[in-house]
Amino acid sequence: MLFVGINPGVRSAMTGHHFAGYSNRFWKLLSESGLVPEPITYEDDERLPEWSLGITNLIARPSPGIDTLRPAEYIEGWKVLERKIRRYRPKVLALVGVTVYRAILPLLGGPPAPGKRENVVGPQNLKVHGADIFVLPNPSGRNANFSYAEMLKAFVQLRERIQRA
């Protein structure tokens, strides 16, 4: 499985590790959902392949938020991501955040994303080079759209889906 974030935050860029923001709950959700067998932190991101997991971003340029990302960066980022998908051939592409999903959907030629978040989080009826798409809530502390319980439920649903595959 390949996790895809939108772009690194400032702290992630400073530390050189994914989802390193002080309020980011990605690593806690990963372990509490059972996607990894032990508690890990951003400093352990290089260990993800031990569990057949990978992690990358759609856009490589760090920023404090997504407001400064340009449309051309999404298109270029998709081209790079597409090459990674073809190379590593993940069974599941786990998009970390509805924003990532909404950003790449037009590039796939898919239908517009539903307006309600309940209809977006979870498995999608799309494949990218053979990989199923699963949308997760963004675990950033800035995300007030989802409670921690809702985020954990989505991560558990992802684990269950992978175990069935």
Residue 3 domain flag: no
pLDDT value for 165? 67
Establish if 10 belongs to a structural domain. no
Q: What is the pLDDT, as a whole number, of residue 118?
A: 45
Give which of 150, 138, 100, 134 is closest to 1, Cα–Cα.
Answer: 134
- Our count of domains for the chain comes to 1
pLDDT reported for residue 107? 83
Is there a domain that residue 46 lies in?
Answer: yes
Residue 6 lies in a domain: no
Q: The CATH number of the domain where 41 resides is what? A: 3.40.470.10
| pLDDT, block means (10 residues), the chain with 165 residues | 94 94 94 97 96 96 88 93 96 94 83 59 93 94 85 97 84
Q: Identify whether 53 is part of a domain.
A: yes
Strand runs (DSSP E) across 97-155, as ranges? Answer: 122-128, 131-136
* 119 domain-assigned: yes
The span from the CA of 40 to the CA of 30, in Å, is 8
Which residue range forms the structural domain that includes residue 64?
20-164
Report yes or no on 148 lying in a domain.
yes
Predicted local confidence at residue 115, as pLDDT: 57
pTM here is 0.91
CB 140 within 8 A of CB 14: no
Q: Which pLDDT score is estimated for 117?
A: 47
Is residue 73 assigned to a domain?
yes
